[in-house]
Amino acid sequence: MIPGVISTGLESWGTAEGSRQYFRKRLWGSWTMMRALVLDKAQWKRHIMLDKDTGLDPPGVKLRAAQGFDAADFFITGYWIWNKILENLATIGYDPGNAFTAAYDWRMSYQNYEIRDQYFTRLKSHIEVAVRVSNKKVVLLSHSMGSQVLYYFLHWVEAEGYGNGGPGWVDAYIDSWINISGCMLGALKDVPAVLSGEMKDTAQLNAFAVYGLERFLSRYERAEIFRAMPGLSSMLPLGGNAVWGDENGAPDDTPGQNVTYGPFIRFRNQTSTFTDKNITVDDSLDFLFRNTEPWFKKMIQTSYSHGVAHTTKQVEDNQLLPAKWVNPLETRLPLAPSLKIYCFYGIGKDTERAYYYRSDDDPLSALNVTLDTTYTAGNVDHGVVMGEGDGTVNLLSSGYMCAKGWKMKRYNPAGVKVTTFEMKHEPDRFSPRGGPNTADHVDILGRMSLNELILQVAGGRGELIEDTIHSNIREYAEKVKIYEEK
């Protein structure tokens, strides 16, 4: 099991003066975090942010991912994440001897997982031991950003000079990959988070709550924290305008929609220095780099790649470049004809798709721009344009590769079988987490039908699962400007 971003607890192992009081306490994912954030904010920030130049531990600080099932069982007491899945897996015979949670420090860029923690080496050896002991291939289960981490691992493990597993490793060791709510093409909400420390959750607060939040943890402080966690930036949107559209239209535009989703960052007032024109997803990365520090640009450009490979040759060349390994539009699936991929994700919950911004006129703010939260009209809620998805990840990101991308020869030359199962968001209005039929990005982990599907695959009966599509993802996928090579 490879958990998603934020769901893995981080605990302090530092013994320096400022860290001793937090030794082996969780500074992410516990009430200790809340207490430290309120009573000792400066120290909490110092611990949670990585070194801006190396992307590793700052001097005197040592935060590590909690290990074992406890790492992602609950976020804070009472807020379950993987707990329901573990409970259900136990009913068909899984226990600590044959199940494993591969927790990781999600703050780091993927290359640094291996450099600092040897994460991928450990994951590889754990899989090899599991296969040797049970004489059966492994089922991998990933959620959210964990799916991107796993996709990266599938390249790392076979690459010469990295995992050195050779081209047959995945086929020999991995039976199935269950991809739950995987943000394979990133999450659009990542852009405003690192640009201005904002997202729908902050935009919708009332004036009193905004005042409290700003006094406590300002927008700039939030943006600074997000930027100093390069792992989060692995979810900056992939595929550019080919996937997300431009001012002339977007693949997921719907009939009767007044304004296309194509312009991603929009300005109602186009007269100020920073707001001369609306910006597409392609342009948004340049805009982001112009409005952030040089170290951030360097870290992102050396760690990740956001383009599209339009030919088989480009794809094969990219197999050797670690910065490309997170991007399924620039690399291919392993040559593993017996591998099976199951994409399970939620649909039908309003999800951030584009944003209205304005210049930040606050004289005390270090930011150039901020969300235009005064604007609400139609599908625009406090400056946030809403589209389709699971409340966090857009439908194009969770569904495109499964429904269309991996059906293309250059992205899946071995013909790996990919099954897509969509789940409608049908929340129980009296349940705080949405009840047994929620399809929310995180709460789906407790959904009854998802757990049944997981048990089917983990119990060796995954071949009985059939494609189940409720959304228009196939129609949207046809409009994405990525085509089979002629």
Active site members: 144, 390, 441
Residue 319 CA, chain-centre distance (Å), reads: 21
> How far is the C-alpha of 129 from the C-alpha of 132, rounded, in Å?
5
> How far is the C-alpha of 283 from the C-alpha of 337, rounded, in Å?
38
Copy the structure tokens of residue 459: 């119990």
> How far is the C-alpha of 1 from the C-alpha of 229, rounded, in Å?
22
Nearest to 249 by CA among 421, 438, 410, 480: 480
The values of phi and psi at residue 305, to 5°, are: -140, 140
Copy the structure tokens of residue 30: 């516990």
377 in the Ramachandran plot: left (φ > 0), alpha (ψ -120 to 50) or beta?
beta
Copy the structure tokens of residue 38: 């309120």
Provide the pairing of β-strand 351-359 with 174-180: unpaired
* Cβ count near 109 (within 10 Å): 23
For residue 351, give the 3-state DSSP assignment.
Answer: strand
User: DSSP labels for 379-432?
Assistant: TEETTEEEESBBSSSBHHHHHHHHHTGGGSTTT-TT--EEEEEEEE----TT-T
User: DSSP labels for 451-473?
Assistant: HHHHHHHHTT-GGG---B--SSH
Nearest to 148 by CA among 174, 104, 186, 175: 186
